[in-house]
Amino acid sequence: MIEPFWRRRVRHVLLLLLVGLVLFMWLSWQTAQLARASFTSGYLLLFMILVLAAYRWRKRWPPLQRLGSSATWLQIHIYVGLAAFALFWFHVGFRWPLGALEQMLATVFLLICGSGFYGLYVTRTVPRKLTAIGGEVIFEQIPVHRRQLVQRAEALALDPKNQSDILLSFIEQRLLPFLTRGRSMSYLAFPNGKTRRALLSEVENLKRYLTPEHQACTPPLQRLIQDKDDLDFHQALQGRLKGWLFIHVCLTGILLALAILHTLLVHVFQGSL
């Protein structure tokens, strides 16, 4: 029996709430007893950060495959991450920390949390958009596809049936630059269909200057524009899926270093070490 996603989600959220409630009561009880609840919450938080960071090692080191599937680890990562986010606020007393190191640590932690929430959102929404475009493009092969589009455009330009000045100048001045050049950073951040619509409309407008014979050559041009735009869309969205993860992973190293330093300093100044 294959469990639907919604059921798993409900189960995990309920479990998270239950664990969160128990933790909250335990920490509140410690505070009420005038114990150092921040030590408990701090060590718990450090442990959670280590568990969250261990996922990277599970992914990178094949022998660890036997410690459970990556999907199970991701579920643990997501819900432990949510719990850590809540525990963080409890640990800092629901206010912004005052020390420079603590502020840096809190900033990095919140950036990681933010990138994590963003990652969760994009990994659940972007794949559908990619599927909706149709066709499947492997990110590393995008330059190859782009070269193929240029070759198709060149073949169109060399075709004896397309020997019209208007068509040739459009291919040379408008189409080929569109096919060969990459898209702007703003497009990669927020992909849109403006250029596609503009070029398609230009081709439509060209038609009235073309003979009926040459008009028949415009659909392949339009197809090329659509294919290139789809390719760029893939590049932008797949880039987004890879980009957030890169930031998330890079910040993890910094967070680990700062968290360990923070723990050591706390103990040094508290006199335990």
Partner 1 sequence: MTNTVKITTRPQRWDQPFADAVQPCDVPSLLSLPLFQAMDPQAFPPQIPLEGILRNDTRVVDFEDGDIIIREGDYGGSAFLILSGTVGVVLKSLPSRFLGRSEPQARSFAESVREWWNRSPVAEVRQLGRSATDRNVASRRGRDGQVRVYLQDIPRIISPQEIESMSTGELFGEMAALTRSPRSATVIAQGRCRLLEIRWQGLRDLMKYSPQLRDYTAQQYRQHSLQVHLRETSLFHGLEDAALEAVTRSVQFQSFGDFEWHQPFREVIRQDTNRQIDSEPLIAQEGDYLGGLYMIRSGFVRVSRRRGAGHQTLTYLGKGDYFGFSEIMELASTGANVPWQHSFRAIGYVDLLLVPTTQVMQFILPNWPTPEEAASRGRENAARVSQTLAGTALAKQTFTAPTIDLHEPWGRSVAQQPESAPEHQQRLEQFVQQRLINGEQAMLIDLDRCTRCDDCVRACAETHQGNPRFVRTGPIVGHHMVAHACMHCTDPVCLIGCPTGAIGREHATGVVQINDDTCIGCGTCAQSCPYDNIRMVEIFDDAFRQQVDERQLPILKATKCDLCVDQSGGPACVNACPHDAMVRINMRETDVLSQWLDR
62 contributes a contact to partner 1 by CB under 8 A: yes
104 contributes a contact to partner 1 by CB under 8 A: no
57 contributes a contact to partner 1 by CB under 8 A: no
* The pair of three-digit structure tokens given for residue 26, joined into one six-digit string: 């335990």
Of 138, 144, 166, 261, the one binding partner 1 (CB under 8 A) is 138
Closer by beta carbon to partner 1, 64 or else 168: 64
Site for partner 1 in 229-248 (CB under 8 A): 238, 241-242, 245
Q: Count CB atoms within 10 A of the CB of residue 269.
A: 9
Closer by beta carbon to partner 1, 20 or else 239: 239
Residues 6+ apart with CB under 8 A from 259: 45, 46, 49, 105
Closer by beta carbon to partner 1, 72 or else 192: 72
Of 66, 95, 181, 208, the one binding partner 1 (CB under 8 A) is 66
Closer by beta carbon to partner 1, 5 or else 94: 5
Q: Count CB atoms within 10 A of the CB of residue 31.
A: 15
Closer by beta carbon to partner 1, 121 or else 209: 121
128 contributes a contact to partner 1 by CB under 8 A: yes
Q: Count CB atoms within 10 A of the CB of residue 137.
A: 17
Are the beta carbons of 223 and 199 closer than 8 angstroms?
A: no
Q: Count CB atoms within 10 A of the CB of residue 251.
A: 19
> Pick from 234, 228, 247: which is nearest to 139 by CA?
234
212 contributes a contact to partner 1 by CB under 8 A: no
